[in-house]
Amino acid sequence: MTRRTILLYHRVARDPGDPYGLCVDPDRFCAQLGVLRDLVDIVPLDDLVARPARHGTSRRRSQVALTFDDGYADNLIEALPALERHDTPITLFVASGLLGDPRGFWWDRLATLLVGRQHVDLDLRRAGVSLRISLHGPRAGSDALVALHSRLRLLDVAAIDTVLEHVARQLRAEVPRPHHARVLWPEELEKMASSPLVTVGAHTVDHRLLAGLPREDQERTMRSSARVLEELLDRGVRHFAYPYGDPAAVDDDSFEAARRCGFATACTTSAGRMTALSDRLRLPRRMVRDWDADTFRSHLLAWRSI
C-alpha cells in the first residue's frame, strides 16, 4: 500500500531567534524539496486523500503532500520561488482575519516582548490570568514565554490583547509589531493563490483555539474564514486546518463542525500515521523543522514516509 504523509510547515525564513521552531531556512527548504523530489511523489492534498482505485496497480513511490499554516508573508517571498523551481504543490491554511494585520500573530508579539530578557517579573492577576512569574537568568524570557503561551492560547483574542498590554506595561515596553514575522496582505495572498501550485485552505478567522467552544461558534469561525477567502480569491475553499491542531486544541465538536462546513479535508497537528482509510477530517501531519537534507531524510525514514 502506498505510504502517505502530510508535512506541516509554517515559515521559510532566516530567524536566529525563532523561539517556537517555526522557521525553516530558505536554503534548507530548497534542500528538503530536493530530497522529496528524489524519494517520493509530491502531490496535492486532494490527490493524497483520494482512495486508491480498487483494481489499480499498487504504487511503489510514497506520496507526500506539503501544507503551510497561518499565512506568513515569507511563504510568498521565500517559499513560493523555491516551490516553483521544484514544481511542488502546497496547501496554504490562512487565518482570514489576520490578513494584512500589521500587528501579526499574538505569539510573535509575545515572543518579541520576552525573548532575550534576563529578568522577568510579571503579575497578571489583574489581567484576568492567575499567573505570577518571577524569573532571572539567561533563559528567563524564554521560560516565561513557554509559561505564558500555553495559558494565553486558551483565551479569546480580546483577552490575549489585554494580557499583552499588561505584560508590556510591567516590562516597561510597548506591545511590539513583529515586522520579521509579517502576515500576508490580501493582495499578496491573491498573488500566491494565482500560482497553479497553491491551494488555499481555511484556518478560522482569528486562530482561536476551538476546543471547549460551543459547536455553533466553532462552525461559525470555520465557515466565515472559508467564505472570506472564497470571496477574495473567487474560488471554492475545501480544506481546513485546526488552529494549534494538537489533541488539546480540538474536540469532537470541532470534527463535527468541520463536517457540517463540508470541508473535504481537515488537518490536525497530531503526528500519527496516515492510511488510505484515515478520517479525512482528522488528518495527521508531520511538522518539519529547520533540518539539513540528511536530518530531514532520516526523519522521513523514521516516520516511514519513504
Q: Shortest gap between Cβ of 168 and Zn ion (angstroms)?
A: 23
Nearer to Zn ion, 94 or 122 (CB): 94
| Cα separation, 148 vs 144, whole angstroms | 6
Kindly tell me which residue out of 70, 74, 219, 253 binds Zn ion, with binding defined by CB under 5 A. Answer: 70
Return the range that interacts with Zn ion (CB under 5 A); candidates 64-72, 156-164, 216-224, 264-272: 64-72
- Position 108 contacts Zn ion (CB under 5 A): no
Nearer to Zn ion, 25 or 70 (CB): 70
| Cα separation, 217 vs 240, whole angstroms | 16
User: What binding mask, one character per residue, do residues 125-154 give for Zn ion by CB under 5 A, x or -?
Assistant: ------------------------------
Q: Shortest gap between Cβ of 138 and Zn ion (angstroms)?
A: 29
| Cα separation, 73 vs 182, whole angstroms | 6
Q: Region of 21 please: left (phi>0), alpha (psi -120 to 50) or beta.
A: left
| Cα separation, 261 vs 244, whole angstroms | 19
**Structure-derived torsion over alpha carbons of residues 245, 248, 250, 253, reported in degrees to the nearest 10:** 170
Kindly tell me which residue out of 45, 66, 68, 69 binds Zn ion, with binding defined by CB under 5 A. Answer: 69
Nearer to Zn ion, 70 or 78 (CB): 70
Identify the helix (H) or strand (E) that includes residue 167: helix 157-170
Return the range that interacts with Zn ion (CB under 5 A); candidates 27-35, 65-73, 105-113, 142-150: 65-73
Q: Shortest gap between Cβ of 179 and Zn ion (angstroms)?
A: 20
Question: With contact defined as beta carbons under 8 Å apart, do 148 and 113 qualify?
Answer: no
Which positions touch Zn ion (CB under 5 A)? Answer: 69-70
